[in-house]
Amino acid sequence: MKLILLGAPGAGKGTQAEMICQTLSIPQISTGNIIRAQIKSGTALGLRVKAIVESGALVPDDLVIELLKDRLAQPDCANGFVLDGFPRTIPQAEALEKICEIDAVLEIYVPDEKIISRMSGRRTCPACGASFHIEYNPPKTEGICDMCGAQLVLRADDDPKVVASRLQVYHDQTEPLIGFYKTRGLLKTVEGQEELADTTRLVKEALGI
Ligand SMILES: [Zn+2]
């Protein structure tokens, strides 16, 4: 199955991507990883990519598509793949259509308010990295790490204002893509549930796996 995954940051996309890849024995493909691997390879193309990344510029779409085409031609993609983090724009989606035929686009949908309340309840230990949630996984003593006793903090990334602005970026970028794949009859939307097992079940049903 050749699958694209869409979902807001904090919607639980990563967990479902892992589940799908394990269930179908297919790889998860991210363009970030492809770019890093290419740079590491030290080939002529790799050096070109490295120069772009080191200049602080974005790797242009046509080059990303070229790298992606190479990656999707590897033997481990013979039975399909889960594409995560790409495409993000309509031009990218159109370019992708030219190099491969996608079977389905799965959107994990969670209302913004829910994502914001989930993330703003997270507390992280700056000393040992343990993470807690004031509602779903509270520490034994409020504000104190169970593992090492340090004072827990709300990470800047989990700050409701930061989360809200990241969600806005996601919506601005992704809503056109949702429409794009809907008109092609490829879009399957699953609402993320409170319980992970429920989301997993709905995802499996939606994909028929
Ligand atoms: Zn700790």
- Identify the band that residue 102 occupies on the pLDDT scale cut at 50, 70 and 90: very high
Q: Which pLDDT score, from 0 to 100, does residue 19 have? A: 96
| Å from CA of 125 to ligand 1 middle | 5
How confident is the model over 66-90, as pLDDT tens digits?
999 999 999 999 999 999 889 989 9
* Cα 153 to middle of ligand 1, angstroms: 10
The mean pLDDT value for 20-28 works out to 97
- Classified by CATH at the fold level, domain 2-26+79-207 comes out as Rossmann fold (3.40.50)
Of the candidates 186, 170, 118, the residue with the CA atom closest to the CA atom of residue 7: 170
pLDDT band for position 10 (50/70/90)?
confident
What is the pLDDT at residue 194? 87
Residue 191 has pLDDT above 90, yes or no: yes
Residue 45 vs residues 8, 37, 38, 90: alpha-carbon distances, Å: 32, 11, 7, 25
What dihedral do alpha carbons 136, 140, 146, 151 form, nearest 10°? 90
175 pLDDT tier (thresholds 50, 70, 90): confident
> Per-residue pLDDT averaged across 203-208, rounded?
97
Q: What is the mean pLDDT of residues 170-185?
A: 93
The full set of domain ranges for the chain reads 2-26+79-207
As a whole number, the mean pLDDT across the chain is: 93
User: Residues 152, 132: contact at Cβ < 8 Å?
Assistant: yes
Active centre residues (catalytic)? 13, 88, 122, 155, 166
Q: How far is the CA of 163 from the centre of ligand 1 (A)?
A: 24
